[in-house]
Amino acid sequence: MPRRKTDVAAKAVRSTVKRVKPPSPDSVAGKDNGGLPLKPAWLAGRAAEIWDQFAPERMAAGMLTHRDELAFALWCQLGAKVEEGELSSALITQFRLIGNDFGMSPSGKGREQVAVPLPTAAHKFFRD
């Protein structure tokens, strides 16, 4: 089977992609905060207050990392809209589903990462 000819534009795109360097570990978002998420600067008003209210607890539970900043900020904005009374079935569904990912519902609480205590000598015999 004869080789296909590739157009010049496709070759240019491939060569551009090959030259892209991956980001260094030091430039990854949240690295300057010890890996903890930072409240986005664009988050304002009641949504920022919701972040301040719920984010520390979610971080302590291991449910919020720097990779989740955008999704949690979206949840905060949806929460502000719900509090303002902008209720629609789509908005409530999005708010509920994203909140479930962060353990904000009874079914989502099972996802929390709780530290399991190490067994001691007493636990070995008494199974407390």
What percent of the chain is predicted at pLDDT more than 90?
A: 34
Listed by start position, the domains of the chain span 30-35+43-110
- Using the 8-state DSSP alphabet, how is residue 40 labeled? -
Q: What confidence tens digit (pLDDT) does each residue in 18-59 have?
A: 454 554 544 444 445 666 788 999 999 999 999 999 999 888
Q: What is the mean pLDDT of the chain?
A: 75
What percent of the chain is predicted at pLDDT more than 70?
A: 55
pLDDT at 123 over 70: no
Q: What band does 16 get if pLDDT is binned at 50, 70 and 90?
A: low
pLDDT at 1 over 80: no
Q: What is the pLDDT averaged over residues 102-114?
A: 66
